[in-house]
Amino acid sequence: MSGAVGAVVFGGLAAARGADPALPGYLLMAGGGLVLARVDLVCLRLPDPLVAAIALTGGAGLVAAASATGTPARLWAALAGVVLSFTGYALLALLPGSRLGYGDVKLAAVLGLPLGWIGWPALGLGVLLPHLLNGVVVLGLLAARRVRRDTALPFGPALLAGAWLAVLLT
């Protein structure tokens, strides 16, 4: 199963981004994201070392792409994506009754890097889609009586899937 998921994730990125010089960075982040999603599904945790590794590989990939294309100014848009995503998710995590953990906030900030690089539409979709995807999953689980309203569920996979879809759609 995970091989098929990996093939879809990597194949989708390659098809959507084509000859984009940032594609290696996206693929590195996606590989780390697949590991991180599995960990979150099993343990309900997003370990800082894994999140940091994704940030470093993605950042290095974008720096290399900026150097290769002579567009270092695009890195500012990527950093703005980090700041906006972090700020938005940190505020959501602070709301009373929020179920967002700070691992989710940190992962959202890291995913703001490639989304900001691509542009504002990608960042907007990348912030919105995880909530829509997670809502559909939660409603399905509730309807099937597999969870209750107070059951802790991972949000990392929805963050990663939403970012992936945003990259594909923009």
Return the pLDDT at 68. 95
DSSP character at residue 155 = -
pLDDT of residue 152: 86
pLDDT at 6: 93
Nearest to 56, CA basis, from 98, 102, 113, 7? 113
Integer Cα distance of 162 and 115 in angstroms: 11
- The residue type found at 18 is G
Instruction: Check if the beta carbon of residue 114 is closer than 8 Å to that of residue 25.
Output: yes
CA pair distance 35, 121, nearest whole angstrom: 27
What are the C-alpha distances in Å from 114 to residues 23, 81, 82?
10, 8, 9
pLDDT of residue 130: 97
Rounded (10°) angle between helices 74-94 and 48-69? 160
Instruction: For the chain, 170 residues long, give each residue's pLDDT as a single digit of tens.
Output: 578 999 999 999 999 999 999 999 999 999 999 999 999 999 999 999 999 999 999 999 999 999 999 999 999 999 999 999 999 999 999 999 898 999 999 999 999 999 999 999 999 999 999 999 999 999 999 999 988 888 889 999 999 999 999 999 99
Please tell me the distance from the alpha carbon of residue 164 to that of residue 166, in angstroms, as a whole number.
Answer: 5
Query: CA 129, CA 148: separation in Å to the nearest integer?
Result: 23
Query: What pLDDT sits at residue 149?
Result: 85
CA angle, 10 as apex, 100 and 121 as ends, to 5°? 55
The pair of structure tokens assigned to 129 is 């889609």
